[in-house]
Amino acid sequence: MSFLEFIRQPWPWYVAGPLIGLTVPVLLLIGNKSFGISSSLRHICAACLPAKLPFFSYNWKKESWNLLFVTGILLGGFIATHFLDNPNPIQLAPATKMALQALGIQDFSGFMPNELFALSTMATGKGFIFLVLGGLLVGFGTRWAGGCTSGHAIMGLSNLQWPSLVATISFMVGGFAMTHVFFPFIFKLIYP
């Protein structure tokens, strides 16, 4: 197996998880930096918005490393999508497939279901509702919790922070509730 074939395969959790987890001590050792993604949006707004809002009035240049980190993530995602794409179909658990098929989702060829996120679906506004509503809920939750899932679940838990434990438990409960209770209801409401 060539290196390219090896890297294109899905990595098991016991390899990918520790690699992600190792970013915490590396960032702490390199310069006492905290890992988190949602803070980069605040830095971008502080750099680009001329308004003197108190939330954006701070020295964002001191946190410019975070913008480089997020740029690297975006670049890595682009490279992975265009050059390292796994040609095999995404593996879903049979129970997950059956639950989604019961809702009317049949196309499992991509990472996101075409019934929700195809351009034709976006043009009708149905997929757009999921995208906008989901984005607003994620943004609100991130601001309310004082950070995103990566910041709390990876950085906060590794530092044994009580608020991060509460936030991570809340993220998980909210995710389970959305998946098993609200998503089927919303999906049937939008796609009768």
How does pLDDT run across 61-80, given as a tens digit for each residue?
Answer: 888 888 888 899 899 989 98
- As for how many domains the chain has, the answer is 2
Q: Which domain holds residue 32?
A: 1-88
Of the residues 88, 113, 143, the one at which a domain ends = 88
Task: Judge if 59 and 108 occupy the same domain.
Answer: no
Task: Judge if 53 and 8 occupy the same domain.
Answer: yes
The proportion of the chain whose per-residue pLDDT surpasses 70, expressed as a percent, equals 99
pLDDT tier at 173, thresholds 50, 70, 90 = very high
d(CA 46, CA 58): 8
Task: Judge if 12 and 56 occupy the same domain.
Answer: yes
pLDDT in tens, 158-169: 888 899 999 999
The proportion of the chain whose per-residue pLDDT surpasses 90, expressed as a percent, equals 8
Q: CA dist 16 to 7, 19, 51, Å?
A: 12, 5, 41
| Structure confidence at residue 155 (pLDDT) | 84
Of the residues 88, 119, 141, the one at which a domain ends = 88
Task: Judge if 59 and 140 occupy the same domain.
Answer: no
pLDDT tier at 109, thresholds 50, 70, 90 = confident
For residue 126, pLDDT over 80 is answered with: no
Its pTM stands at 0.71
Task: Judge if 100 and 82 occupy the same domain.
Answer: no
| Residue 145 CB contacts under 8 Å (≥ 6 apart), including other chains | 152, 167, 170, 171
Torsion of CA 157, 163, 167, 170, to 10 degrees: 120
Task: Judge if 147 and 182 occupy the same domain.
Answer: yes
Task: Judge if 84 and 137 occupy the same domain.
Answer: no
Apex CA 53: angle with CA 52 and CA 54, to 5°?
A: 110
Of the residues 43, 61, 88, the one at which a domain ends = 88
| Structure confidence at residue 7 (pLDDT) | 80
